[in-house]
């Protein structure tokens, strides 16, 4: 019975546990069996790095996630499993405290299956920068599940868990959701506490859930959202209902930014987006073309701001306080040896880029200028939403999942986030859901909404998911 439950979604699992039709231990055992089966042999998904080894003795039997198996990205502090951030720098390190979102999941009755693979310190778009090997896409194991939260996306797509947590700095949940054919939600900056999330770029980082369906993702966000006095950026606002369910879109105005549909967009991706827009229109929505004129600056702005903040945040990994230590001749040699050994190529590249952008004589020319342009990008969204547009629809990624090892140029890799980084720069909510497939590979459609307008975003997503039905997976 519990194996069958794993395919029914988080709400159905929780209901079965609450009603005594299944136990948390039974569901855990079946989820762990799926993990073991998908992680055996040379084609291992390598999605879960640190599996939980024992079934829970007890879960909250009455919670909204009672007995629901979940996985969390390896950059969330947990007391029971390592928090390595996909890096040799923290390999084997176990946190003495846990993140707010992990506590909220436990309090809701969720059961942790394991910690998922990721690009080192969340810096990457394919999980190929994990110190523990790349994850694979469950739909085609020669391809990437995306990144940096690729392990979480793959775990949901493989049916191991209905819900997983990732982190979003520039699209690290929405892009894997698109590549894996699942739902990924980046909430408004401040909607979910970041306490216990290892920082990459503090003005951009968000805790973001994956779900097999829109309802799974909505339920997860309802559980983890809310004010937290331990996070100074956490918004002191009530948490609205996210599980609004499918319904008419009469009166809803959906904008289509022309900058997100360039001539270079993959024709098959464009075709699926056009079909999704027709379905939204059929549900009663008004479709309106809009412009976000500073979109072209998003990638260069992001790759100045994010590395600058990462160079400051990762300065704490020095071989003295915690994590890896490589002894040397004197303190400076200890620092240099530890950081040169502990950090991978992509993390080192971004630290160097960020340190340069913040250095004396260059701060005004790079970081300050990037922050000025970031404000212009945010104002683009403000103007569009102030004009009466209630949500935006775009592609999530310019192409379906690419082959592992196919992209060696860092800038080309960065472009896979071209449609997602703007939401992080502006701080608005966004989500990806499946809208079709190209040669068996999923295509994601992205819905963006004004600040703290997640209920509208979910309203559009529920309607689109219901309208597309099985077409979303063809």
Q: Which residues are annotated as catalytic? A: 73, 148, 172
Q: Where are the strands (E) in 117-171, listed by range?
A: 163-168
What is the spatial distance between Cα 445 and Cα 59, in angstroms, rounded to a whole number? 35
Q: Name the phi and psi angles at 256, rounded to 5.
A: -120, 100
Q: What is the rounded CA–CA span in Å between residue 91 and residue 94?
A: 9
Helix locations, 208-330, DSSP H: 214-224, 267-282, 298-313
* Residue-wise burial string across 363-396, b where 16 or more C-beta atoms lie within 10 A, e elsewhere: eeebbeebeebbeebbebbeebbeeebbbbbbbb
Give the DSSP per-residue string, 250-281: TT-EEEEEGGGS-TTS-HHHHHHHHHHHHHHH
**Residues in Cβ contact with 294 at an 8 Å cutoff, skipping those fewer than 6 apart:** 373, 376, 377, 380
Strand partners, 442: 437
- CA 422 from chain centre, in angstroms, equals 14
Extract the tokens encoding 459. Answer: 């309203």
Cβ(463)–Cβ(391) under 8 Å? no
Q: Are 463 and 249 in contact (CB under 8 A)?
A: yes
How many angstroms separate the CA atoms of 395 and 433, rounded? 10
Dihedral of CA 69/73/79/84: which sign? positive
């Amino acid at each position: 019975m519990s194996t069958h439950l794993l395919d029914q979604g988080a709400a159905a699992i929780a209901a079965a546990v609450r009603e005594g039709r299944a136990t948390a231990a039974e569901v855990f055992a079946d989820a762990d069996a799926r993990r073991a089966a998908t992680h055996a042999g040379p084609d291992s998904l390598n999605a879960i790095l640190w599996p939980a080894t024992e079934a829970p003795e007890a879960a909250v039997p009455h919670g909204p996630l009672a007995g629901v198996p979940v996985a969390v990205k390896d950059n969330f502090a947990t007391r029971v499993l390592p928090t390595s951030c996909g890096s040799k720098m923290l390999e084997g390190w176990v946190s003495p405290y846990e993140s707010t979102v992990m506590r909220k999941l436990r309090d809701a009755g969720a059961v942790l299956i394991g910690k998922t693979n990721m690009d080192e310190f969340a810096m990457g778009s394919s999980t190929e920068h994990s110190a523990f090997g790349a994850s694979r896409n469950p739909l085609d194991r020669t391809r990437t599940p995306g990144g940096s939260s690729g392990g979480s996306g793959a775990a949901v797509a493989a049916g191991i868990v209905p819900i997983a947590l990732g982190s979003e700095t520039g699209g690290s949940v929405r892009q894997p959701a698109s590549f894996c054919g699942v739902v990924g939600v980046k909430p408004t900056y401040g909607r979910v506490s970041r306490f216990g999330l290892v920082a990459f770029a503090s003005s951009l980082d968000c805790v973001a859930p994956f779900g097999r369906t829109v309802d799974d993702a909505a339920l997860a966000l309802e559980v983890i959202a809310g004010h937290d006095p331990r996070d100074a950026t956490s918004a002191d606002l009530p948490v609205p209902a996210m599980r609004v369910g499918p319904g008419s879109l009469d009166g809803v105005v959906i904008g289509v930014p022309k900058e997100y549909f360039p001539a270079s967009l993959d024709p098959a991706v464009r075709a699926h987006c056009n079909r999704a827009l027709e379905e939204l229109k059929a549900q009663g929505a008004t479709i309106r073309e809009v412009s976000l004129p500073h979109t072209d600056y998003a990638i260069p702005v992001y790759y100045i701001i994010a590395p600058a903040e990462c160079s400051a945040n990762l300065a704490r990994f020095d071989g003295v306080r915690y994590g890896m230590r490589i002894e040397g001749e004197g303190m400076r040699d200890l620092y240099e040896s530890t950081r040169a050994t502990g950090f991978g190529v992509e993390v080192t590249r971004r630290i160097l880029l960020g340190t340069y952008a913040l250095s004396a004589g260059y701060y005004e020319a790079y970081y300050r200028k990037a922050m000025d342009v970031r404000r212009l990008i945010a104002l683009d969204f403000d103007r569009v939403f102030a004009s009466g547009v209630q949500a935006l629809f775009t592609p999530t990624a310019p192409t379906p999942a690419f082959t592992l090892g196919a992209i060696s140029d860092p800038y080309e890799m960065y472009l896979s986030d071209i449609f997602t980084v703007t939401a992080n720069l502006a701080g608005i909510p966004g989500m990806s859901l499946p809208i079709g497939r190209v040669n068996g590979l999923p295509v994601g459609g992205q819905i963006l909404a004004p600040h703290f307008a997640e209920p509208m975003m979910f309203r559009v997503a529920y309607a689109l998911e219901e309208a597309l039905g099985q077409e979303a997976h063809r």
